[in-house]
Structure 1
Amino acid sequence: MEGDSGVVLATERYGCAETWRYFAKDGVMERRRVGSEAKSIGNSFVGVFKSIFLPQGYPESVSGDYLQYQLWDTAQAFASSLSGTLATQASLKGVGVGNQEATVAAATITWLLRDGTSMLGRILFAWLKGNKLDSEAKKWRLFADVLNDIAMFMEILAPFFPAWFTIIVCTSGVFKSVVGVAGGATRAALTVHQARRDNMADISAKDGSQETLVNLAGLVVSLILIPLVTDNPVLTLSLFFVFTALHLFANYRAVRSVVMETLNEARLAIVLQHFLQDGCILSPAEANREEPVFLEFRKTVPIKLGVRLQEVVQRPEELSLTLKKNNNKPFLLVVTNGYVCVCLGAQASTQDEIRAMCQAIWISNELTACIELPEKHPDLVHESHKLMDTVFSQFLQGVEAAGWDVKRTLLDWDEWRVELKTKSS
């Protein structure tokens, strides 16, 4: 191929950002960018900005929802930074900054008590809910931000209740410790979702750079706000409520923008319900739009996955009957003590896990619709097997064709596995 510039030897590109061509002319190899020179100069600043604050290879190296999520996440971080400034000022005032009668020892003890309760809260929450943060990352991400706003509101009000100041700031510290665990862990789960080239570290590092830039902007605005709100509690509370409203709205839009292709209990339940009702398979984008992002407290029949065998059967004849009801599948489904329990076989595959969860969801929905829950309901277990024997193969093929990742799941399985000894084995 020849032109006025010479013979084209090669063409190379940097992701979708730049394209260059190599020419051979008069025995010399030249490299020129495809596109006008004005465009190249105009994009130089944008290119530097992207290289500093966006992962290498953006946008191909991240998920399609990355930019929208990061924009809303940036907005909420900015609002949270300003709210945090107001809360910090109130805390300092509460421990005696500016009060000649306050002692260093009293302020230090208050601070140490707050830090101590925060550490205990962090350990306790990680123990109780750590295994839920992967499977329900959206819910706990939003919960953490709501709890963070509550904690800061308590810090702002604390100076008005001097007799209860220490208790209030310690409670606030516990809330913030929960925020730290839930926020950090769910951010890691979202990073796993966003990374498309095993570039989790790069995405995490650039997220830190974005947050630092936002905090710097918040610092500049805070320097303007502090003289205005000092000794003005009405203005302090008014600005706090404005920033909190922006913070919560941006957080809601951020988690709503996330489109995860892996199945957790909520997304699988939504997809399964639509399939059983009208035979259609929802895409990840459609199911994520319907997925609840607030922690729910409505009465349902809970599902326990990966339980010990002892939790579902106690006698040999009971085990034999349970195996018969479950058609010798690599899992056992039992309704007992108000729970739908799934005991998973040691050789069960990911497809077996998805099928077991589908049956458990169907049974739970059927029982939730009942007014009274019997202690055991083997008929529903048998009916769920008949239903899935008919539709599961078609359902699984449709789910995979719709773009869902069926090689791994975010179902909340415990670690118990059992070797089921059938008569044939």
Structure 2
Amino acid sequence: MEREKTVILATERYGSGQPWNYVVKDGAMERKGEGSDGESRTYSIIGVFKSVFLPQGYPESVSGDYLQYQFWDTVQAFSSSLSGTLATQASLKGVGVGNQEATVAAATITWLLRDGTGMLGRILFAWRKGTKLDSEAKKWRLFADVLNDIAMLMEILAPNFPAFFTLIVCTAGIFKSIVGVAGGATRAALTVHQARRDNMADVSAKDGSQETLVNLAGLLVSLVLIPLVTDNPVLTLVLFFLFTILHLFANYKAVRSVVMETFNEARLSIVLQQYLRDEKIFSPPEANQREPVFFEFRKMVPIKLGVRLEELVQSPEELQLALKNNNNMPYLLGVKNDCVYVCLGPGTSVHDEMRAMCQAICLSNALNPGTPGKPLMEKKQSHWEMVYDSHKLIDQMFNTFLKGVEAAGWQINRTLLDWDEWRVEWKVKMN
């Protein structure tokens, strides 16, 4: 008997997953997955796992660095969960859990003081550093995790100093409140980067599911650890340091794996300096690999963006100097007290902001004696002469540079530059 020919009516797939065929069988339409039944069941199990823990449409719906970042983020969350268990046990012991002489009132007061100081620390940190968390998300993400480990170490050591226990746990509470602000805000900034289909809520929700699963695994391991470390401070410290090393290493690998296509000051400086040296433009992966993820303490010439006019000029003569060679650009730029200041006009576009930042970077590097390689401009006696030279340099190269960075894969319709909100409209013009 001749075998019935299979007629495929349609083919579909979910994202980049396994294709499914609609075929005719016994006069009816039937849906079948490609491959054997065993492979179909495997794909089905994997599909359920993906739908629970990964954003819809993965991997097309997220950035290319998503999986590597989430892997290292999972490792650091697991190790942090175990370290947190050790710190919590020490804190409970310090406030008198298990001690018959301890009073409920004393323990409650200590806990309230810790929480109260932490709330104040959260407010003050958000006030002072909130605007920095978008532009330097990698640095603050790593900073938050280092500070979190310091806070947990203080909580573990606090019971050994009963006279200063309240002071130590309150300080640790302040550190943890800063960690909460910096960690939460930078996580949001990274979610914006990862979400490629306006699916921030989904990416954030699935990140929460992953973290919950990791914390559950950490809880199970903690049930085994607690009996071992109880009344054994040496083992507690040894395990804490092992978990901390793993935590910091995983965090470093996580932030290093992030490839952002938007410019902040560091990435724009790296790309611009390389272009001015040999006209090569770094791609986003190349520049991100060179971007520093630790805060640097060497002396640098800072750049302040979007400042008040009085920070840049103090007289009509200085305003005329600032406007010289400005070519009617909607920003003013100058140097005061070893700092580069940039004033923005009210109609400044993103490209104007990038142009102003490029010019400010040229000035900053020319003024900084520690800049490696050949300086972008020769340092002169007058700061205003350097400003004029920077105008000429940017006029010559900026349009070509802008086309080059767009071709290299950088986003030029928005930036992560740390602009303040002052906008100045100057009434005088240079002839």
Q: Normalising TM by the smaller chain, what interval?
A: over 0.9
Q: CA deviation at 1:8?
A: 2.8
Q: Which amino acid aligns with 1:385?
A: H
Per-residue CA deviation, residues 2-61 of structure 1 (Å, 9 max, x unaligned), is: x95543332221101131222345653332223332211122221111111000100000
Q: CA deviation at 1:175?
A: 0.2
TM-score calculated relative to the size of structure 1: 0.96
Q: Indicate yes or no: 2:427 matched with 1:402.
A: no
Equivalence for 1:386:
392
Per-residue CA deviation, residues 306-359 of structure 1 (Å, 9 max, x unaligned), is: 111122123333322311242321110110122100001111211111111011
Q: Which amino acid aligns with 1:314?
A: Q
Q: Which amino acid aligns with 2:396?
A: T
Equivalence for 1:54:
54
Runs of 4+ in 1 over 6 A off after TM superposition: 373-376
Q: Indicate yes or no: 2:390 matched with 1:412.
A: no
**Contact 2:118–2:176 (CA under 8 A) maintained in structure 1:** yes
Per-residue CA deviation, residues 195-220 of structure 1 (Å, 9 max, x unaligned), is: 00001000110111100110111011
Equivalence for 2:40:
40
- Cα distance in 1, alignment partners of residues 268 and 232 from structure 2: 51
- Cα distance in 1, alignment partners of residues 160 and 291 from structure 2: 41
Identity %, equivalent residues: 75
Equivalence for 1:171:
171
- Cα distance in 2, alignment partners of residues 84 and 334 from structure 1: 49
**Contact 1:134–1:189 (CA under 8 A) maintained in structure 2:** yes
**Contact 1:325–1:378 (CA under 8 A) maintained in structure 2:** no
Q: CA deviation at 1:156?
A: 0.4
Per-residue CA deviation, residues 286-306 of structure 1 (Å, 9 max, x unaligned), is: 000000000111101100001
Q: Which amino acid aligns with 2:332?
A: L
Q: Which runs of 5+ in 1 are unaligned?
A: none
Equivalence for 2:242:
242
Q: CA deviation at 1:98?
A: 0.9
- Cα distance in 2, alignment partners of residues 222 and 418 from structure 1: 58
Equivalence for 2:375:
none
- Cα distance in 1, alignment partners of residues 9 and 98 from structure 2: 73
Q: Which amino acid aligns with 1:109?
A: I
- Cα distance in 1, alignment partners of residues 339 and 381 from structure 2: 9
Q: Which amino acid aligns with 1:114?
A: R
**Contact 1:72–1:253 (CA under 8 A) maintained in structure 2:** yes
**Contact 2:324–2:430 (CA under 8 A) maintained in structure 1:** no
- Cα distance in 1, alignment partners of residues 221 and 145 from structure 2: 21
Per-residue CA deviation, residues 385-410 of structure 1 (Å, 9 max, x unaligned), is: 11111111111111000000010000
- Cα distance in 2, alignment partners of residues 129 and 155 from structure 1: 25
**Contact 1:135–1:264 (CA under 8 A) maintained in structure 2:** yes
- Cα distance in 2, alignment partners of residues 81 and 374 from structure 1: 55
Q: CA deviation at 1:90?
A: 0.4
- SS of 2:332's equivalent in the other structure is strand
Q: CA deviation at 1:421?
A: 2.9
Equivalence for 1:147:
147
Q: Indicate yes or no: 2:12 matched with 1:12.
A: yes
**Contact 1:334–1:376 (CA under 8 A) maintained in structure 2:** no
- Cα distance in 2, alignment partners of residues 113 and 131 from structure 1: 28
Mapping of 1:217-366 within 5 angstroms?
Answer: 217-366=217-366
Q: CA deviation at 1:278?
A: 1.3
Cα distance change of structure 1 residues 293 and 400 upon mapping to structure 2, 3 Å threshold:
same
Cα distance change of structure 1 residues 5 and 343 upon mapping to structure 2, 3 Å threshold:
farther
- Cα distance in 1, alignment partners of residues 74 and 410 from structure 2: 28
- Cα distance in 1, alignment partners of residues 95 and 308 from structure 2: 51
- SS of 2:11's equivalent in the other structure is strand
**Contact 2:301–2:365 (CA under 8 A) maintained in structure 1:** yes
- Cα distance in 2, alignment partners of residues 185 and 141 from structure 1: 9
Equivalence for 1:122:
122
Equivalence for 2:157:
157
- SS of 1:346's equivalent in the other structure is coil
- Cα distance in 2, alignment partners of residues 103 and 114 from structure 1: 17
- Cα distance in 2, alignment partners of residues 376 and 171 from structure 1: 47
- Cα distance in 1, alignment partners of residues 5 and 160 from structure 2: 76
Cα distance change of structure 1 residues 15 and 4 upon mapping to structure 2, 3 Å threshold:
farther
Equivalence for 1:368:
368
Q: Which amino acid aligns with 1:411?
A: L
- SS of 2:130's equivalent in the other structure is helix
- SS of 2:60's equivalent in the other structure is coil
Q: Indicate yes or no: 2:366 matched with 1:377.
A: no
Q: Which runs of 5+ in 2 are unaligned?
A: 372-378
**Contact 1:328–1:422 (CA under 8 A) maintained in structure 2:** no
- Cα distance in 1, alignment partners of residues 317 and 430 from structure 2: 17
- SS of 1:134's equivalent in the other structure is helix
- SS of 1:43's equivalent in the other structure is helix
Per-residue CA deviation, residues 402-423 of structure 1 (Å, 9 max, x unaligned), is: 0000100000001111223344
